[in-house]
């Protein structure tokens, strides 16, 4: 079985390690059709290369892995997304599973789980690292007792703009990246602040980090 794969991680050494790991997969053959170091490029390359599987990190500059996954699932529904991340927070896991990812593998268990995740993806199944599966079970049981979900008040586009704000981009830079007008960016900024009841960039940045929209680790 040959699997066309796109690797998305902002650290070159991690991408190299994943490529090297593919060589140990035995009968499972992987063709790396591209690499991306940010979410925005990942979306563009997925649309261009049409890979079978995208290996996606969550903490990415310009556009985080959650938003990139959301856009890939919408524009390229046949492409499977396997999350490979160090993050195992409930909010991360819940959002990614709700988006319909085909796997969630922790970097700490990559050697044991990545091959299984990719095989499951090609069979239209879902593979979760054991720690992630445990979180899903606990989250489901908690939801049975308390159906009130703590969902973000922001839309996907607003989250995207908030990440860029938190990463220090100016309104002009954000407008260029998202291909919208500067006035539209400023309007979105005000709506974000109103929804979150936050009136300064420092607290916006803290919120973005807490919500996993950015880690500022780039």
Q: How high is the pLDDT of residue 218? A: 46
As a whole number of angstroms, the distance between CA 10 and CA 214 comes to 12
Tens of pLDDT, residues 96-110 = 888 999 999 999 889
**Is 20 in the same domain as 118?**
yes
Please list the residues that pair with 2 across neighbouring strands.
29
If you average pLDDT over residues 50-61, what whole number do you get?
95
Same domain (yes/no): 47, 139:
yes
pTM of the model: 0.72
Q: Are residues 24 and 80 in the same domain?
A: yes
Rounded distance, CA 108 to CA 47, Å? Answer: 30
Q: CATH number of the domain that 43 lies in? A: 3.40.50.2300
Residue 66: give the domain boundaries. 2-145
Structural contact between residues 53 and 118, judged by C-beta atoms closer than 8 angstroms: yes
Q: Give CA–CA dist 85/163, Å, rounded.
A: 18
Q: What is the pLDDT of residue 139?
A: 65
User: Range with the lowest mean pLDDT among 26-30, 37-41, 151-155, 189-193?
Assistant: 151-155
110 and 132 inside one domain: yes
Q: Across 112-189, where does the E strand assignment appear? A: 127-128
Residues 72, 26, single domain; the answer is yes
- Average of per-residue pLDDT across 136-141: 69
CB–CB of 54/8 below 8 Å? yes
Q: Does 41 reside within a domain?
A: yes
Task: Looking at the structure, tell me whether residues 13 and 117 fall in a common domain.
Answer: yes
């Amino acid at each position: 079985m040959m699997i066309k794969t796109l690797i998305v991680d902002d650290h070159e050494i991690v991408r190299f390690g994943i490529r090297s790991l593919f060589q140990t997969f035995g009968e499972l053959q992987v063709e790396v059709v591209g690499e991306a170091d940010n979410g925005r490029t990942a979306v563009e390359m997925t649309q261009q290369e049409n890979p079978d599987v995208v290996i996606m990190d969550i903490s990415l500059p310009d556009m985080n892995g959650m938003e990139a996954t959301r856009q890939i699932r919408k524009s390229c529904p046949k492409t499977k997304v396997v999350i490979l991340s160090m993050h195992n927070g409930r909010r991360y896991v819940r959002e990614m599973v709700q988006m319909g990812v085909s796997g969630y593998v922790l970097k700490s268990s990559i050697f044991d789980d990545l091959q299984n995740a990719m095989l499951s993806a090609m069979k239209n199944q879902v593979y979760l690292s054991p720690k992630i599966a445990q979180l899903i079970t606990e989250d489901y049981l908690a939801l049975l007792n308390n159906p009130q979900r703590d969902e973000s008040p922001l839309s996907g586009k607003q989250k995207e703009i908030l990440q860029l704000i938190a990463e220090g981009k100016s309104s002009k830079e954000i407008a260029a990246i998202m291909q919208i007008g500067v006035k539209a960016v400023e309007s979105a900024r005000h709506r974000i602040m109103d929804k979150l009841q936050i009136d300064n960039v420092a607290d916006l940045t803290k919120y973005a980090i807490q919500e996993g929209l950015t880690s500022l680790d780039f």
